[in-house]
Amino acid sequence: MNNIAGSKSSLTWIVHISVVLLVALWLFPTLGLLVSSFRTSDQISNSGWWQSMFPTEQNLTLRAADPDEAGNQSLIDGLYVVQGNLFGQAGEAEISVWGASSRAYNAYEIGETADLKDGETLSVQANGDYKWRSPIELSGRGQRVFVTATTPPEFTLDNYKPVLFSGNSTDSLAKAFFNTLTVTIPAIPIPIPIPIPIVIAAFAAYALAWMDFPGRAILIALVVGLLVVPLQLALIPLLKLHLQIGIGKGYLGVWMAHTGFGLPPAIYLLRNYMVGLPRDIIENAKVDGATDFQIFTKIILPLSFPALASFAIFQFL
Q: Where are the domains of the chain?
A: 12-52, 56-151, 173-316
More confident residue, 306 or 92: 306
d(CA 63, CA 153): 21
d(CA 249, CA 251): 7
Query: If pLDDT is split at 50, 70 and 90, which confidence band does 74 have?
Result: confident
- Per residue in 98-153, pLDDT tens? 988 888 878 888 888 888 888 889 999 888 889 999 988 888 888 889 988 888 88
pLDDT of residue 21: 92
Domain 173-316 architecture: Orthogonal Bundle (1.10)
Q: Within 10 A of 254 (CB to CB), how many other CB atoms are there?
A: 18
pLDDT of residue 3: 53
**Range 241-259 average pLDDT:** 82
Model pTM score: 0.47
Residue of 70, 67, 42 lying closest to 56 (CA atoms):
42
CB proximity list for 191: less than 8 A, separation 6 or greater: 198, 199
